[in-house]
Structure 1
Amino acid sequence: MKNLLYILAFLLSQGLIAQTALYNSGNIRIHDEGQIGFHTNLINNAAFDQNLGLAGFYGSSTISVSGAFMPIFYDTEIANEQGVLLNTPLSVSSNNNFIVGNFITPRQERDVYFNFLPNAFYVGESNASKVDGYVTINDQQNFIFPVGDAEYLRSLTLNSSSNNSLARCAYYYENPANPASFSESFDPSRKPRTMGDISAVEFWHLEGGVSSTIQISWNQRSNMGDLTDDAAKIIPVGWSISAGAWVNLGAATVVGDLEQGFVISESFIPNDFAIITFSAEATAKELLTLDNYLVTPNGDGVNDALYIEELELSNDDTISIFNRNGQKVYEEANYTNGFTGYSNVDNLVINREAGLPNGVYFYLIAMKDLDLNYQGYLYLEH
């Protein structure tokens, strides 16, 4: 017969106030095929790390785990709708079974987490049962972090080039620009022009020192329609710690529509980024408010050629430049910053070798692959 121990309560009294808890001071151990069912708080003040069998968290009231030592269980499971609040880390060395309820960690304390030791795994994760807070892994290469918030499972899949001695992850249903429970905020305007708006809904915090790819998903609550009207344009982005700005992590694969889907990133090192969330590639229409330009080809390295950054978005463009009399003085397909004040058109340009005269010129740009056309002015001054 399995060694079955149900911990119901140890009653402590202080005046009229009563609190139930199991205090472990070093004389509890779960043997092979043994089972222990926690229906009350666990205060772990001694080593609790040679366990086998199953430790389950049950009942209909929130259970807290606290104390000076991290309990290390073999198999664990949770069947408690009110959840298990971790005030100290908890480790599992074999399997965790998510049934009902969340393991909850305080996000402001990243050193409190649900920890999967080498080769540990889990089953049964769902919106109803997951880790609402931080999960860590030890000496594992590939892992799906069963993280989320109180309402939804919002897993992050980590695929690394080698084992992570330690990797840590949590999901935040908060605006990165003004998070409620994260110690930093992240300016959505600090991004390249080729990147659209940054998600104001959610983000992940991921730590790891090994080059990795990630997979993150979106659902209806993610409001991806606020970022783009084309799911294929969705990209994962991270806040670069060194640059202090948002960086495109690269979308190797994008699957889904604006209601639900997922994206797989290119390789990066998680520790280089403070948080990760969604953005979208900026469309040409969003970017192309073309300006009037100054060209001063005097060799000082500033405005020596006509440079139009937005043309990098097109793979089939042409530019034509005209003087004030409507005479074409320059033309180039797939423009590569070639205009430096000299004509390349074989017509009646006078003193071609001396360069075009100073003054105002008119440009026309066609981006054929994007079905966009623009016009504007430039001022040439030698």
Structure 2
Amino acid sequence: MKNLLYIFLCCSSVAVAQNAMYNNGSIRIHDTGTLGLHTNLINNAPFQDNLGTFGFYGQVTTSVTGAFIPVFYDVEMYKPFSAAILETSITATNALNLVDGDFVTYRNNPLENLKLTQNAFTVGESNLSKVDGYMLVEQKQNFFFTVGDSGYIRPLTLQSQSENVTAKCAYFFEDPNLPSTFTTSFNTNNKEKEVRAVSTTEFWDIDSSLPSTVSISWNNRSNIANLVDEYYQVGIAGWHRTQKRWVNLGSVDPIGDLNQGAVTSETFVPNDYEVITLAKMAVATELLDLDNYYVSPNGDGINDNLVIPELEESPNNRLRIYDRNGLKVFEKDNYNGEFNGYSNTNNTIYQRNAGLPSGIYFYLVFLDDLQLEYQGFLYLTDTGN
């Protein structure tokens, strides 16, 4: 924490009362200056073009209000056992030094936040000092959001394919079924098949319009042991804005154990999802249990076509069917129940569009969306041959 105090006032309409500093004119901190604030800030005039340090100090919770957003260069937080409540946003253009104490924003008003511009960065973040609410960044491709709640830092790492105009994040230590500041419930029972279970302990709100990956962690209060049996089942799920269900966002290289760990998503567009959280994902060995099938294309409406319901989990798929001698008799990309006992390949034994003889056939299914491959048998009868 700096000891030097050097303030350059551009006008005289700045006053410090017992419970607030009022800025009704304009104020500027030069590059060798430090302004330490131990009281509330009411900023009703421009407070920008700063090059020094603005510090939030003391052991009493204070607030920032007013009609104008103050724009600081370096910002320092040292308020042990207390916080600075941002009822008006603040902006840091260089260093955000988090020593002790939290910046708090109201989660029911994401427009008020702590903003970092393109060249700004954070240092010192910990359970003792973080952003308890919404944090926003400008012109950044990758960023480590130092968000959390009053007890813990619960950061999120965003890695986008290009530079975001803006990106915003907040952490919520609450049940997504009963969110306190959203107008809808994120029902953890509404989920796609790959998502076996969804955390009811915590969630994050991450906003970005670009294809991105995110990394989040769990700690001893995340109750991961109540969600999964093994740490490698942990993945990230998102509540899709239009589907209104939890969707698998991926589980890339989960690390840790049932007490603490971290996981990264596949690429997705955060703005397509209301919130994200940790989830139990189906692993490859349990995802699809493909059966052996019976196909009897006799027109009675029963088993006339080969239908594999599990392929809904991977619309990008490939089906190949072979006879018992290994000769391919049917192939279809993006299969959706087309096989009805007729070949669609030309070879020396079977002609295209000809009915296949009754018997046992062997099939392969490639699930390109999930990078999985399965095989099985089908018995064909009543094609007319």
- 2:322 maps to none
- 2:63 maps to 64
User: What SS does the corresponding residue of 1:190 show, helix, strand or coil?
Assistant: coil
The reply to whether residue 112 of structure 1 matches residue 112 of structure 2 is yes
Conserved? CA contact 1:107–1:182, under 8 Å: no
1:73 and 1:309 mapped to 2: Cα distance? 57
- 2:366 maps to none
The reply to whether residue 10 of structure 1 matches residue 12 of structure 2 is no
Q: Deviations over 1:127-171 (max 9, x none)?
A: 010000000000011100000011010000011111111000000
- 1:41 maps to 40
Conserved? CA contact 1:108–1:183, under 8 Å: no
Conserved? CA contact 2:6–2:32, under 8 Å: no
2:23 and 2:301 mapped to 1: Cα distance? 72
- 1:247 maps to 247
Taking a change above 3 Å as real, the CA distance of residues 302 and 114 of structure 1, as seen in their structure-2 partners, is: farther
- 2:197 maps to 197
1:22 and 1:42 mapped to 2: Cα distance? 5
The reply to whether residue 28 of structure 1 matches residue 27 of structure 2 is yes
1:28 and 1:254 mapped to 2: Cα distance? 49
The reply to whether residue 261 of structure 1 matches residue 229 of structure 2 is no
1:276 and 1:264 mapped to 2: Cα distance? 12
The reply to whether residue 50 of structure 1 matches residue 49 of structure 2 is yes
User: What SS does the corresponding residue of 1:33 show, helix, strand or coil?
Assistant: coil
- 1:221 maps to 221
Taking a change above 3 Å as real, the CA distance of residues 295 and 207 of structure 1, as seen in their structure-2 partners, is: same
Matches within 5 A, 1:1-382: 2-4=4-6, 9-11=16-18, 20-80=19-79, 81-282=81-282, 297=297, 304-305=304-305, 307=307, 309=309
Aligned-partner residue type, residue 246 of structure 1: W
Please list every run of 5 or more consecutive structure 1 residues that lacks an aligned counterpart in the other structure: 12-19, 314-335, 343-351, 357-379
When the two chains are superposed, the root-mean-square deviation of aligned CA atoms in Å is 3.4
Taking a change above 3 Å as real, the CA distance of residues 284 and 94 of structure 1, as seen in their structure-2 partners, is: closer
1:149 and 1:299 mapped to 2: Cα distance? 62
- 1:15 maps to none
Taking a change above 3 Å as real, the CA distance of residues 224 and 10 of structure 1, as seen in their structure-2 partners, is: same
Q: Deviations over 1:276-313 (max 9, x none)?
A: 1011223699888999x997846699853354545999
Taking a change above 3 Å as real, the CA distance of residues 307 and 227 of structure 1, as seen in their structure-2 partners, is: farther
Conserved? CA contact 2:6–2:29, under 8 Å: no
Task: Give the share of equivalent positions with the same residue, in percent.
Answer: 46
User: What SS does the corresponding residue of 1:138 show, helix, strand or coil?
Assistant: strand
Which piece of structure 1 moves more, 273-282 or 136-145? Answer: 273-282
Taking a change above 3 Å as real, the CA distance of residues 353 and 144 of structure 1, as seen in their structure-2 partners, is: closer
Q: Deviations over 1:7-44 (max 9, x none)?
A: 99414xxxxxxxx1111012321111101000000000
Please list every run of 5 or more consecutive structure 2 residues that lacks an aligned counterpart in the other structure: 8-13, 314-334, 343-354, 360-381
The offset of 1:4, in angstroms, is: 3.3
Count of aligned residue pairs for this structure pair: 318
Aligned-partner residue type, residue 258 of structure 1: L
Conserved? CA contact 1:196–1:227, under 8 Å: no
Instruction: Find runs of 4+ consecutive structure 1 residues off by over 2 angstroms.
Output: 1-5, 181-184, 282-291, 293-313, 336-342, 352-356
The offset of 1:178, in angstroms, is: 1.2
The offset of 1:75, in angstroms, is: 0.3
2:215 and 2:205 mapped to 1: Cα distance? 13
Aligned-partner residue type, residue 219 of structure 2: N
Given the two structures, how large is their TM-score scaled by the length of structure 2? 0.74
The offset of 1:211, in angstroms, is: 1.1
Aligned-partner residue type, residue 6 of structure 2: L
Aligned-partner residue type, residue 162 of structure 2: S
Aligned-partner residue type, residue 271 of structure 2: N
Taking a change above 3 Å as real, the CA distance of residues 339 and 22 of structure 1, as seen in their structure-2 partners, is: same
Conserved? CA contact 1:170–1:205, under 8 Å: yes
Conserved? CA contact 1:74–1:95, under 8 Å: yes
Taking a change above 3 Å as real, the CA distance of residues 353 and 209 of structure 1, as seen in their structure-2 partners, is: closer
Aligned-partner residue type, residue 25 of structure 2: G
The offset of 1:68, in angstroms, is: 0.4
Aligned-partner residue type, residue 76 of structure 2: E
Q: Deviations over 1:246-295 (max 9, x none)?
A: 1111122211111111111111111111101011223699888999x997
Which piece of structure 1 moves more, 118-127 or 234-243? Answer: 234-243
